[in-house]
Each structure stands twice: as C-alpha cells, then as structure tokens.
Amino acid sequence: MFEKFFKLKESGTNVRTEAMAGLTTFFTMAYIIFVNPSILSSTGMSWDGVFVATIIATVVGTLIMGLVANVPYAVAPGMGLNAFFTYTVCMGLGFKWQEAMAMVFICGIINIIITVTKVRKSIIKAIPRSLQLAIGGGIGLFIAYIGIKDAGFLKFTNDVTITPNTFTVPVGENTLIPGYVNSGSTIVPGLENFNKASVVALIGLIIIVVLMILKVRGAMLIGIISATIIAIPMGVASLPAKLSDLFANKIGAVGDVAFSFFGNPGLGSLFGDPAKILPVILIIFAFSLSDTFDTVGTFIGTGRKSGIFDEADVKALSESSGFKSKMDKALFADSVATSIGALAGTSNTTTYIESAAGIGVGGRTGLTSVFTAILFILCLPFAALFGIVPAQATAPALIVVGVLMAESFAGIKWSEIEDAVPAFFTVVIMTFAYNISYGIAAGFIFYCIIKIIKGKAKEVHPILYIATALFVLNFVVLALKII
C-alpha cells in the first residue's frame, strides 16, 4: 500500500527509513507545541486552546504536505511569525488577537492565490543558481546556529561602554565624584562554561557524529534518544510527577480560539477604522512576504541537494501547466496550511526548516510527513511524555544537518565578485540576523545592484526586480515605523 501510493522504491527509500525520518523531524520540532502557546498566550489567548490549535494546524498541514505533494516536509506555526503576531501586531500596534488572526487568514488566502497563479514558482525560477546555492548553505549555517544556541554552547553578555559625564554626584555628606553614564552596550557572544545541559548536548553531538562516521542508519534519532535518556538523571530533563499527567485532556480548549476571527473584534472590525487600513495592509504583506520566502528558501536549500526536487521535477515546474510537479503541490500545501491554522486558532504556519533533520536521515517521500503528523496527534493525550525531550537533545541533530548542508558552498564561484558578494551577504545576514527572509532579501538586493552596475541589468529576471523592490519597501516601512 505504502509503496504504491508514495512510490518508495522510485525515491530510493523504504517504510523503515521513512518512519525513522518522521521520528527525527518530529523530535527536532516538537518544541513548537509548547513554545507557540507560551508566546501567543501573551496576547490574551488561551494557553490550552493554542496548544491544541498548534497540534491541529501542524497535523493537518503536514498531512496535506505528505499526502498531496508527497514530500517529506512538516508544516507548523512558524517561529518569528508568532513573535511578530504577538509583540508587534498585538502588543506594539494594539490590534486585538482576533484581528491579528483575521490578518493571518487573509495572508493564507493571498498565498493560495499567488501559488495557483504560479507567481510563487515563478519566483523560484527567477533566482540564479549562485543564490540558490547560497540560500542552501546559509540555511545550513542558520540551522547549525540554532542548534549551537539551543545546546547551550554559547553565552551572551553585555559589552557596556561607560563614559564620564560633566556632572558630579554626591557620595556621603561632603564627597563628590565625577558622574558616569552608560553610553551604549552591545550583546557579545562567547563560549559558555560547560554545565550539565551543555554536556548533554555535547554527548549527543559526539554520539551522532561517531555513528555517522560508522555509517549507522538513524544516527540522529539514536543521538536524540540517547541524549534524552542521559538528561533525565542529570536533571536536564524530568519525567512527569504523576502518572495521571500523561493523560491530561486539553482537546476541548481549542474552542476558545478556533474560528475566533469571524466577528467583532476580528474580520468585522479589521477595516472599520480608516486610520488602520494602511497598517493592516502592510502587516498582511509582511506576513505573506516572510512566509513565502521562508518556504521557498527551505525547498531550495534542502530539496535540490537531496534529490527530492530532481531535474525532472524542476523542468515540470518550469514548463508544465497545472500542479504536475512536486514543488507546485508542496507550495500549494504550504499555502493552504496557513489558512487552516488561522481557522484552528494559531499564527502563520510555514514549512519547517527542521524537516532537514528528517531528510538528513533518508526521508524522501510524503510518508515521512505522515509519520511526523501521527506523532503530533499522539501529543494530545501524551503531551507530558513527549515534552521531556529537552532542547539540548535535539540541538546536536540541527548542528549536524548544518554540517551536511554546507556542501552547497562548494558550487559558488567565490573568485568571481558578481557571485561572491550576493552569496556572502545572503549567508551572513540570514545567520546573524536570525531570519531566512532577510538573508534572501540581502542577496537579491546586492545581486540586482551588481548586475546594474556591470551593465547586465537585462540578465536579471523581472520578478527578481519586483521581489527586491518589495523587500526594500518592507525595510523602509520598518525603518519609518509605519507598522
């Protein structure tokens, strides 16, 4: 049954490998079912409701990705997008969470439209190969940085600059000393002094690397499980206090957030104030832009190298009409998932970069996504059990995936400044700004500038110019604090 539907042999895989890949992807992204409600509940949303909505959105979106597109990607509420939803849209701009959810829903509809009308895949075709390789390698470094940070290998300290001021301050009754002011501070990363948590991550990393050198299948999953087991007696992870905690029923709480934006506040109030129409449009644009390029970047960065999107599929994407290529279907699945997530009661869903961990252990078809979705379903009654896997246990897998994806850098012509500059800024901004979309934006901007200066403006695809202009507009809007 699985073989016929998912075409396992054709993709060079089997049920066992797909199951292991699904488990690996699940463990590297399961944190979202706890982190997402923690962030969104700051807006006044029900923590339990968002917890259930997060699982529902993840399961439905991931199943669509697996069953419709037959690719090994998982879909879930996006980190960064949920923070934008909470801290910028709701807390910063004063929108009700129901209104913000309405904007997410509209964003999903827009993404469906631009996918059906082939705007999304036209964007992919417009990206030159050098930038595609840079995006792939940049995502690898981005993933590795997340892993290194989650592992606790880094510490961040304030580098404070103190300068003398012109006034004096009293000390005691008769003594005066010059006043000093803090003239600025920056956050400086450094190597952490290892503690129990980072030791767990280091052990997990060593296990994975050793097993991969020995070519043991499922090395990443074995490393995650081993690190979790080690973390329990070390106090880094803990088992539930009571057996009954394993069966906590939170399913009914989804009613607190599902279909919440149909009414006032929500769609009914979103465009009621003329002064807020422009901010609403810009917010929806920001949601859509970020989601589109995060997803495109993930597909380019992981799908080409692994062969999930092979040359035949790329050709079908370019030349066929309808949804005949896997990437066509994958982009459509990602778009639909955002609107479904909003209906369930959570912020924008997106294709998860952590899917690369499952791809790294051999996941090649939608069966990987199906196994991942099943594990998320099991989280509803067994949330506490799955919650014992600490970030330090999954972080090593992300680091190793970054190592594997760095291979893309070899294909970039670093000796040619036209390729090197856009590629460099793609990678650096993506990693250091902690944002895939911003990295892609930097690469686009420098690529267009260089081509224009070199008198090769006609070599740039019109869509690349349009996308670059939109990115620039977005940065201008952010700089002027219009939203």
- Kindly state the average pLDDT of the residues 74-99: 87
Residue partners of 431: CB distance under 8 A and separation at least 6: 138, 141, 142, 145, 439
The pLDDT-based confidence of 175 (bands split at 50, 70, 90) is very low
For 9-72, the DSSP string reads GGGT--HHHHHHHHHHHHHHHTTHHHHHHHHHGGGT--HHHHHHHHHHHHHHHHHHIIIII---
Cα–Cα distance measured from residue 171 to residue 177, given in angstroms and rounded to the nearest whole number: 7
Residue 315: name the closest of 330, 298, 303, 327 by CA. Answer: 327
Gap between the Cα atoms of 376 and 26, Å rounded = 7
Distances (CA, A) of 87 to 32, 258, 270, 296: 17, 21, 18, 25
Tokens coding 145: 């940085």
Residue 94, token pair as written in the block: 């004063």
The predicted pLDDT at position 317 comes to: 64
Q: Is the pLDDT assigned to residue 2 strictly greater than 90? A: no
d(CA 128, CA 433): 23
Q: Would you state the pLDDT for residue 164?
A: 56
Is 90 exceeded by the pLDDT of residue 276?
no
Alpha helices in 42-128 (DSSP H): 47-64, 81-83, 97-116, 119-126
Would the pLDDT of 232 be above 70? yes
The answer to whether residues 333 and 75 touch, using CB atoms and an 8 Å cutoff, is: yes
Question: How many Å separate Cα 271 from the centre of its chain?
Answer: 30
Helical axes 32-40 vs 47-64, angle rounded to 10°: 130
CA dist 274 → 195, 265, 269, 271, 477 (Å): 54, 15, 11, 7, 19
DSSP annotation of 265 reads T
Task: Tell me the average pLDDT across 239-255.
Answer: 70
Q: Tell me the per-residue pLDDT of 315-354, one tens digit each, with 9 for 90 and over.
A: 666 666 666 678 788 888 888 999 999 999 999 999 988 8
All residues at 6 or more sequence positions from 478 whose CB lies less than 8 Å from its CB, including other chains = none
> Which position has the higher pLDDT, 182 or 480?
480
**Other beta carbons less than 10 A from residue 427's beta carbon:** 26
Total number of residues shown for the chain: 483
The structure tokens listed for 268 are 């009914």
Q: Residue type at 313?
A: D
Percentage of the chain exceeding pLDDT 70: 86
pLDDT for residue 186: 66
Residue written as token pair 């998860």: 352
Task: Decide: pTM greater than 0.75.
Answer: no
Q: Please answer whether residues 65 and 366 qualify as being in contact, where contact means their C-beta atoms are separated by less than 8 angstroms.
A: yes
Q: What is the rounded CA–CA span in Å between residue 414 and residue 403?
A: 19
Of residues 65 and 292, which shows the higher confidence score?
65
Distances (CA, A) of 311 to 314, 316, 318, 401, 410: 5, 9, 11, 23, 19
Instruction: Report how far apart, in Å, the C-alpha atoms of 108 and of each of 59, 284, 349 are.
Output: 17, 9, 9
Confidence (pLDDT) at 323: 67
What's the token pair of residue 355? 């899917």
**Beta carbons within 10 angstroms of residue 425's beta carbon:** 20
Residue reference for tokens 């409701």: 49
Q: From CA 442, how far away is CA 428, in angstroms rounded?
A: 9
Distance CA 123, CA 201 (A): 38
Handedness of CA 100, 60, 120, 293 (dihedral sign): positive
Average pLDDT over residues 185-210: 87
Average pLDDT of the chain? 84
| pLDDT tops 80 at residue 382 | no
pLDDT of residue 75 exceeding 70: yes
Q: What is the pLDDT of residue 177?
A: 47
For the segment 11-39, the average pLDDT, to the nearest whole number, is 89
Examine the pLDDT at 166 and tell me if it is beyond 90.
Answer: no
Q: Given the structure tokens 């970020």, which residue do they identify?
A: 290
pLDDT reported for residue 174: 47
First to last CA, the chain: 51
Q: Where are the beta strands (DSSP E) in 172-209?
A: 175-191
Higher pLDDT, 128 or 298: 128
Q: How confident is the model at residue 163 (pLDDT cuts 50, 70, 90)?
A: low
- So what's the pLDDT on residue 136? 82
Task: Count Cα atoms within 13 angstroms, Cβ side, for 115.
Answer: 28
